[in-house]
Amino acid sequence: MRGLKKKRRIQIIGLAFVALAISTALIGYAMRDGINFFRSPSQVVESPPPESEVFRIGGLVEEGSLVRGQGKTIRFSVTDGAASVPVTFTGVLPDLFGEKQGMIGTGRLVNGTFEASEILAKHDEDYMPKEVVDALKAQGVYEAPNGS
């Protein structure tokens, strides 16, 4: 009787371990495309990611770089003060998007140009995404907004 209880406990523990391993693997598999790493323009220039990698880039829209092309295609450069990366985006930009404004884009680096599938812009005069502020501070070009 005692050996049977011990054997049953070991089976239950083993089954729980297998279930935990399977659920962890399924969660990892489901999240493989949902994780986007943030990079500053300096990081992208120093070590460009492979074309297959989707990532986020953030910084300030470089002054004088915003060019509206045919249809909904927009070209501009994003900078952190030390480096600049050309960006193309096809779609409708957020209302508050503009030169010298903070932005984050999601997409891929293709032939040295970041092809954005999504562009996010700051939502009021004082807000800037934390990742962008950190990247600009690292380059020594961040200016805190008035009243902060």
Closest CA to 57 of 74, 45, 70, 73: 45
What pTM did the predictor assign? 0.61
Number of CB atoms found within 10 A of residue 59's CB: 32
Instruction: Please give the average per-residue pLDDT across 30-54, as a whole number.
Output: 81
Q: What is the pLDDT of residues 100-117, one digit of tens each?
A: 888 888 899 888 899 998
Domain boundaries, the chain: 1-35, 37-139
| 125 pLDDT above the threshold of 70 | no
Look up the CATH superfamily of 37-139: Nucleic acid-binding proteins (2.40.50.140)
Helix (H) or strand (E) holding 76: strand 73-79
Residue 100 carries which DSSP code?
T
Amino acid 147 reads G
Q: What is the pLDDT of residues 7-28, one digit of tens each?
A: 899 999 999 999 999 999 998 8
